[in-house]
Amino acid sequence: MNLHKRIEVLGFIGEYLKDDSASYQELRHRAFMENKWFTPEYIFQSGKLIADHMLNKDQLSTFAATYGVKEGLNNKTIGLVMAGNIPYVGLHDMLCIFLSGYGQRIKPSSKDNFMIKNLIQVAVSAFPECENLVVLDEMLKGCDGYIATGSDNSARYFEHYFSKYPHIIRKNRTSVAVLDGTESKEELEALADDIQLYFGLGCRNVTQVLVPEEYDFVPLLSALRKYDHYRDHEKYRNNFDYQLTIAIMNNRFYMSNDSIVLLENESPFSPISQLHYQYYSDKSATIAALDKNKIQCLVGKDFIPFGDAQKPGLKDFPDGIDTMEFLRNC
What are the b/e assignments for 51-67, b being 16+ CB within 10 Å?
Answer: bebbbbeebbbebbeeb
Per-range mean pLDDT, top range of 109-123, 130-144, 266-280 = 266-280
pLDDT for position 34: 93
CA-based R_g, the chain, Å: 21
In CATH, what class is 174-300? alpha beta
Write down the architecture of domain 3-172 according to CATH.
Answer: 3-Layer(aba) Sandwich (3.40)
- Measured at the CA of 107, the angle between CA 319 and CA 272, to 5 degrees, comes to 55
pLDDT tens-digit series, residues 289-302: 999 999 999 999 99
Q: In this structure, what are the phi and psi dihedrals at residue 311, rounded to the nearest 5 degrees? A: -125, 55
What is the number of helices (H) and of strands (E) in the chain? Answer: 12, 11
What integer best gives the mean pLDDT of the chain?
Answer: 96
Kindly give the pairing relationship between strand 261-264 and strand 274-280.
parallel
Closest CA to 169 of 14, 323, 4: 323
The pLDDT of residue 225 is above 90: yes
The pLDDT of residue 139 is above 90: no
Mean pLDDT to the nearest integer, 168-173: 95
Please give the full DSSP string across 77-139, using - where no structure is assigned: EEEEE---SSTTTTHHHHHHHHHTT-EEEEE--TTSHHHHHHHHHHHHHH-GGGTTTEEE-S-
* Percent of the chain scoring above 90 in pLDDT: 93
Three-state secondary-structure class, residue 231: helix
Domains of the chain, by residue range, sit at: 3-172, 174-300
Encoded amino acid at 320, one letter: G
- pTM of the predicted structure, to 2 decimals: 0.94
Mean pLDDT to the nearest integer, 257-279: 97
Pairwise CA distance, residues 268 & 270, whole Å: 6
The pLDDT of residue 125 is above 90: yes
Within 8 A by CB and 6+ apart from 218, the residues are none
Please list the residues that pair with 136 across neighbouring strands.
106
pLDDT for position 207: 98
Instruction: Compute CA distances 288 → 205, 242, 280, 283, whole Å.
Output: 20, 33, 12, 9
pLDDT for position 155: 85
Closest CA to 320 of 133, 105, 170, 96: 170
Pairwise CA distance, residues 9 & 60, whole Å: 11
Interhelix angle 113-126/3-18, nearest 10 degrees? 130
Within 8 A by CB and 6+ apart from 30, the residues are 114
**E strand map for the chain:** 77-81, 103-107, 134-136, 145-149, 167-170, 174-178, 206-212, 255-256, 261-264, 274-280, 295-300
